[in-house]
Structure 1
Amino acid sequence: MDVVVLLGRNVRAFRRLRGLSQEQLALEADMKRSYVSDLERGTRNPTVRAVGRLAVALGVSAADLLDENAATDGLR
């Protein structure tokens, strides 16, 4: 799977697991809601810093956001 698509899938899965809207996640990660939407759809190629901010906002590690099994392992 393409790493950008994988990241987007996992961001969406962790966001939903935590009951956050895209707007809430964007505020926590200091991003625009439209950027979070683009990330989740796999149409943006985020920087390492952006991945780090998302991980902190979601309460997971950056590695979790790139884990192929994260969305299917019950997301802890």
Structure 2
Amino acid sequence: MDWRQVVATNLRRIRRERGFSQETLAYEADINRTYISKLEKGATWAGLEVLVKLSTVLQVEPSEFLQRPARRAAGKS
């Protein structure tokens, strides 16, 4: 998994856990909703300023976006 996908996976997961729609997150972070969508698809790189804005709204440390997901054990769902 490349770093764009790591950020995409974590951003999407954290946003959903916090109950934000992409539109609400974009508004609160003052970021274009289309850009949020591209980030969540792993289609573009996120700059540090954007990660800080998102982490502030989502109330997480910016480093959480860079945590590689735990690998699932074989045969488990």
Please indicate the TM-score interval, normalised by the length of the shorter structure. Answer: 0.7 to 0.9
How many residue pairs match? The answer is: 71
Q: Which runs of 5+ in 2 are unaligned?
A: 73-77
- Give the % identical residues: 38
1:62 aligns with 2:62: yes
Give the equivalent residue in structure 1 for 2:21: 21
CA-based RMSD: 1.5
Deviation at 1:33, TM superposition (A): 0.6
Q: Deviations over 1:31-75 (max 9, x none)?
A: 0110000000000111111111111111100111111138x9xxx
- Please, what TM-score do these two structures have when normalized by structure 2? 0.85
Q: Aligned AA for 2:9?
A: R
User: Structure 1: how far apart are the matches of 2:31 and 2:48?
Assistant: 14
Q: Deviations over 1:3-25 (max 9, x none)?
A: 11110110100000011100001
User: Structure 2: how far apart are the matches of 1:69 and 1:62?
Assistant: 15
Given that 2:6 and 2:69 are in contact with CA atoms closer than 8 Å, whether structure 1 keeps it comes out as no
Q: Which runs of 5+ in 1 are unaligned?
A: none
Task: After the TM superposition, list the runs of 4 or more consecutive aligned residues in structure 1 that deviate by more than 4 angstroms.
Answer: none
